[in-house]
Amino acid sequence: MTEAKLISSLNEENLSYLSKTYVPSRLLLGPGPSNAHPDVLKALSLNPIGHLDEAYITLMSEVQKLLRYTWQCNNRLTLPMSGTGSAAMEASIANFVEQGERVLVAKNGYFGERLVDMATRYKADVSVIDKKWGESFSFEEIKYEIETQKPAIFAIVHAETSTGVLQPLDGIGEICRKNNCLFLVDAVTSLGALELLIDKWEIDIAYSCSQKGLSCPPGLSPFTISKRAEDKLSSRKSKVPNWYLDLSLLNKYWGSDRVYHHTAPVNMNFAIREGLRLIAIEGLENIWERHNKNAIKLWRGLENIGLELHVSKDVRLPTLTTVKIPPSVDGDSFRNHLLNNFAIEIGNGLGDLSGKVWRIGLMGFNSTEENVDRLLNLFDTELKKFSIIDSSTF
């Protein structure tokens, strides 16, 4: 079919393929992505430049410095991986696991399961310690398993997005070092929003994403590794089995050599630089306080309405709250009502919690008192309309 005939056929079908791209405005209060900061979107829209341009290379160095501040680390190899958070998750396995090595994973949610899946695919000897979806691990449990199993890597999720649990990490790094074990942390829903101290907590490998605490669109995944992890990477007996995510190659591009590896997503790096700049201006301690304050306001408001939260307060995740769906309520219908009538997105449960909880995110630019008040007001006025049995309880 010729181009003219194709265009004619599209018009005859009365389709919208040839109209300009339109996306409805949403307030994203689900598990992610969250809304990007307006200044980040402006940076994203700047004209691209070459990924070996001197101006871009300077920007790369600035991004790395800002990331080290946000991670609270001095790690040399700190960079934004090209790809969403799952790419950095896979990089953390692909680069540091060799066939047959013991990897111990603490699994209490969907993303712990994903770590197990990835490590298995790279032919690790995977060992798992489990908790119910909504519980955290004690320091004593972790210490016992590391000292008993002597893994090469211990992996855990700091902020489990599927359950709303914030896992305490202090002290684990010291145990890992005493047992010649690398400490790997999933920080996808904590970086840039919650207290996270890479150097102080002796974390060796950590990864995150751009679309949550950093208030950017999805597309990059911040990554950092310690000198201990660098030493393990350089002493591998086999080549890293994933070319695109091979840190020994990426290091030549993000290190001092700036040797071409792949075409970098330059506009996403414009965006993340702006997001990280905004974090540095506000200050991490102020950001941590803001997220905690707004989460507490949300928790109290939901409980005052009569709703039950899934996770106990001592390990509750400020960036992602899981709310039990009352038995008398059609959870999906209520979520769709908020989206279609008020342009607000909240999330369904994931994995074992699918259909059992709503997931409410307050991350980065979206963590404001105004957003909490708006959502609580809608829960108060609209939820009673979706009670299947008795609306008097709301």
CATH of the domain at 65: 3.40.640.10
Considering the domain architecture, whether residues 48 and 184 belong to the same structural domain is answered as yes
Q: Are residues 77 and 167 in the same domain?
A: yes
Indicate whether 241 and 351 sit together in one domain: no
Alpha-carbon distance values, 207 to 89, 191, 333 (Å): 6, 9, 35
pTM of the model: 0.93
Contact between 111 and 161 under an 8 Å Cβ cutoff? The reply is yes
Residue type at position 193: A
**Per-state percent for the chain, helix, strand, coil, to nearest 5:** 45, 15, 40
In this structure, are 291 and 172 located in the same domain?
no
Asked, for residue 387, whether it belongs to a domain, the answer is yes
Same domain, 263 and 358: no
**186 bridge partner residues:** 157, 207
Is there a single domain that holds both residue 294 and residue 233? no
What gap in Å lies between CA 170 and CA 197, rounded to an integer?
9
Last residue of some domain: 259, 281, 303?
Answer: 281
Backbone φ, ψ for residue 286 (5° rounding): -65, -40
**Are β-strands 125-130 and 102-107 bridged in parallel, bridged antiparallel, or unpaired?**
parallel
CB distance 348 to 332 below 8 Å: yes
Boundary-marking domain end, from 251, 281, 311: 281
DSSP type of residue 109: S
Q: Which of 247, 281, 315 is the last residue of a domain?
A: 281
Pairing between β-strand 27-28 and β-strand 182-186 as defined by DSSP bridges: unpaired
Q: Is residue 7 part of a domain?
A: no
The answer on 119 and 45 residing in a single domain is yes
> Which residues constitute the domain of residue 308?
27-33+284-393
Q: What is the pLDDT along the chain (394 residues), one digit of tens a residue?
A: 566 666 666 565 566 667 888 999 999 999 999 999 999 999 999 999 998 899 999 999 999 999 999 999 999 999 999 999 999 999 999 999 999 999 999 999 999 999 999 999 999 999 999 999 999 999 999 999 999 999 999 999 999 999 999 999 999 999 999 999 999 999 999 999 999 999 999 999 999 999 999 999 999 999 999 999 999 999 999 999 999 999 999 999 998 788 888 989 999 999 999 999 999 999 999 999 999 999 999 999 999 999 999 999 999 999 999 999 999 999 999 999 999 999 999 999 999 999 999 999 999 999 999 999 999 999 999 998 887 654 454 4
Give the residue from 372, 325, 302 showing the smallest Cα distance to 344. 372
Number of domains, the chain = 2
Q: Is residue 274 part of a domain?
A: yes
Q: How far apart are CA 320 and CA 313, in angstroms?
A: 13
Is 22 contained in some domain?
no
Give φ, ψ of 297 to 5 degrees.
-60, -40
For the chain, report the end-to-end CA distance as a whole number of angstroms. 59
